[in-house]
Homo-oligomer: A and B are copies of this chain.
């Protein structure tokens, strides 16, 4: 990158810089689109991701483009600048955000909406063997490893190797772990049926490991119990109150048991992203930022934190869940706070979260939904889940495409995005790191 241009906003407008184009950052900018401010949104990806469906990309049900949209295309307002760049530091004194490209962004108001990332509880060495699912790239990598495990199982005659390749372990029984477990089990039992000659894909083992005594801690007991039974009907093995003590190339150790696994996916714990650490406040033990009642950083009324990175208490004293609905309501609230400052009107009352409901899907015709006192499960929960997700998807094209994909998948029991796009060398190298049988120059030979 050559020398970056300084923030191009006219100097008379309030400069609002937003870090992160997830649900929070995107909605905040949209709410401010008509305000007399100059907004710059920084994201290191060119696209906004509909995170709740990322697990469907990881399990070959949807292509990435169906759940991602270019941020530039979503934010075309004349007072909005979108930068594909990465925030790497903060100068509180000069009110400047440092960018990886070498540039600087001056701000009057800074909003951090960069979310959380997976943490391996001090075992960063596990990350190489147990990928997590946060970005489209993560989802694509997991998809390729998952599909390659079945391909490698077809190409081996060693039954132990095959058994290892066809064992998939999900670490963490929250919504992501539950949804992945159900979707992988359905992939193996239905979508891949009759695809292989040397084994029955339904023989694949899917193991869900949760350290708490129950799944889905955010849901009521009976819904969690329903999810557990729905997973068991798909032959998912569930280990509750079980802790992972090591992960390596061969698999995972759960308590005293060593499980040889072809793919371990980490869905266990998250921590705040780096920008939180630049703030002069004590973070929570999860690395998130305890914010004031107006979602600003204590002592810094011009810096706000929203979405998963913010730690906000509900009226009952519980921390708010890290879900899209919270981020969107916080975005709307901060937009109101900024409007009241611009108009010099009375600031809004302290932020409160209105919980409209929670959803998680287990598989075909099986989901749980919790709306205050209304609790839905089974086919009704599943239809509500599907409609809600299509409704909240951004853009007509994505809604139509996802609807077509789902209808086709429901009708045929097949999956629409079963592509291994990496080269065979990369795939074989990845899934069989310990063995090397590839001759030199083999990339030359072409089998189209």
Contact = CB atoms under 8 A, between A and B. Distances in A.
Interface in A363-409: 396-397, 400-401, 404-405, 408
B64 A437 contact: no
Contacts of A66: 63
B103 A419 contact: no
Given A114-B446, A274-B444, A423-B137, A2 B197 contact: no
Contacts of A424: 44-45, 84-86, 100
A136 interface: yes
Given A1-B437, A198-B8, A420-B45, A84 B151 contact: yes
Interface stretch (A14-22, A178-186, A209-217): A14-22
Interface string A167-205: 000000000000000000000000010111110000000
Contact of A196 (B72, B414, B418, B446): B72
A73 interface: yes
A275 B445 contact: yes
Nearest to A99: B155
Interface in A204-239: none
B114 A448 contact: yes
Interface in A427-448: 428, 432, 435, 437-439, 442, 444-448
A246 interface: no
A114 B76 CA distance: 45
A158 interface: yes
B447 A114 contact: yes
Contact of A47 (B89, B420, B446): B420
Contacts of A314: none
Given A198-B8, A445-B88, A418 B47 contact: yes
Given A1-B432, A151-B84, A401-B401, A100 B448 contact: no
B158 A446 contact: no
Given A100-B438, A101-B428, A155-B84, A408 B420 contact: no
B103 A155 contact: yes
Contacts of A400: 404, 408
B151 A273 contact: no
A154 interface: yes
Interface hub of A76, A113, A404 (most chain B Cβ within 10 A) = A404
Number of copies: 2
Given A1-B152, A396-B408, A400-B404, A273 B446 contact: yes
Contacts of A1: 152, 155-156, 428, 432, 435, 437
A257 B108 CA distance: 48
A70 interface: yes
Contact of A397 (B87, B156, B416): B416
A141 to B, nearest CB: 10
A36 interface: no
Interface hub of A114, A155, A404 (most chain B Cβ within 10 A) = A155
Contacts of A70: 195, 418-419
A238 B275 CA distance: 48
Contact of A88 (B42, B152, B404, B442): B442
A26 to B, nearest CB: 10
A82 B89 CA distance: 51
A408 B73 CA distance: 14
Contact of A137 (B3, B100, B154, B422): B422
Interface hub of A76, A198, A428 (most chain B Cβ within 10 A) = A428
A430 to B, nearest CB: 12
Contact of A156 (B4, B152, B155, B416): B4
Given A1-B152, A1-B155, 7 more contacts: A21-B448, A45-B420, A45-B424, A65-B419, A83-B155, A88-B439, A100-B424
20 contacts: A1-B155, A1-B437, A20-B447, A43-B447, A45-B424, A63-B65, A69-B418, A70-B195, A76-B195, A84-B154, A85-B155, A85-B424, A100-B428, A136-B419, A136-B421, A137-B422, A137-B423, A275-B445, A397-B405, A401-B416
Q: Which 9 A-B pairs have the closest CB atoms?
A: A273-B446, A63-B65, A20-B448, A5-B157, A2-B158, A65-B417, A274-B445, A115-B448, A72-B195
